[in-house]
Structures are given as structure tokens and as C-alpha cells.
Amino acid sequence: MRQGLLRSALLLTILGGFGVYLKSSCMKCPTDDSYSPECLKSVIPPWPICLFHDVPTFVEHSEDAATRCCKEDGDLSECKCPHKDSEKFIDHIDEWCEGVAACSASFSFEEDMESEELVGLE
């Protein structure tokens, strides 16, 4: 009976620890306050894929893809997305492109603020 009680206690401890692990931040998608919410919405992939990289990496990859998929004339021939001809893709690409463009806008705004602070220190 004592062994059964010990096994139960050990099992509960392990399961409890696993529950804490699942609730911890390591199982959540990354975020970065230096980027706008529009940017983050566009560049962060769904869970669990979002766990593989950090925000700057997702921004870099999205900005690279935007050079091929977000052309002014709407030409998607260079876009590497396998679903680029689907109606769902075409319906959402403009919104995605605007979100990715907001990434460089939010980042350049932050750089401008830092340079203004440095000028104020002189």
C-alpha cells in the first residue's frame, strides 16, 4: 500500500510539473514590444511553428518574402508560396503585405527615437 501511495505521489508530481511546463512562457509564441501589433500579427506563424524562432528572425524572413510577394503591380510570379494561386491567399496577401511593411516602419520609428535621445544628450 505504501508503494502505491508513493507511486501516486510521484505520478502527480510529474504531471503537475508537466502542467507548469505547458503554462510557462517557453510554450508561447514569441513577442517583441519594439514591433507593432500589425507587424506581429502578419509575421508570427501559428503555434507550434512560432516556437522555432524569435521575432527578428520571423520579421527577416517575412520581409524577404515580401520582396517577391508584395509587388505594386500584383505580380505573384516570383512568390514562392505554394498556395499563391488560391482564392484565400489572394484575399489575404494585401493585408499581410501591409503588416510586414509595418514591421520596418515600427523598427525605423524606434531607431529615430533612439537617435533623438542621443542628440538630446549632446
Looking at the structure of the chain, the number of domains it has is 2
pLDDT, tens only, 19-53: 545 556 679 999 999 999 999 999 999 999 999 99
Residue type, 38: E
Q: Give the pLDDT confidence score for residue 66 in this predicted structure.
A: 97
Judge if 20 and 58 occupy the same domain: no
- What grid cell was written down for 97? 503585405
Helix (H, G, I), strand (E, B) or coil at 45: coil
pLDDT above 80 (res 8): no
Judge if 53 and 103 occupy the same domain: yes
Tell me which residue range forms the domain holding 75.
31-121
CA angle 14, 17, 20 (to 5 degrees): 155
Q: Helices then strands (H, E): number in the chain?
A: 4, 0
Judge if 52 and 83 occupy the same domain: yes
Judge if 23 and 39 occupy the same domain: no
Q: Can you tell me which residue has the cell 482564392?
A: 87
pLDDT, tens only, 65-98: 999 999 999 999 999 999 999 999 999 999 999 9
Judge if 7 and 39 occupy the same domain: no
Q: What is the mean pLDDT of the chain?
A: 82
Judge if 67 and 53 occupy the same domain: yes
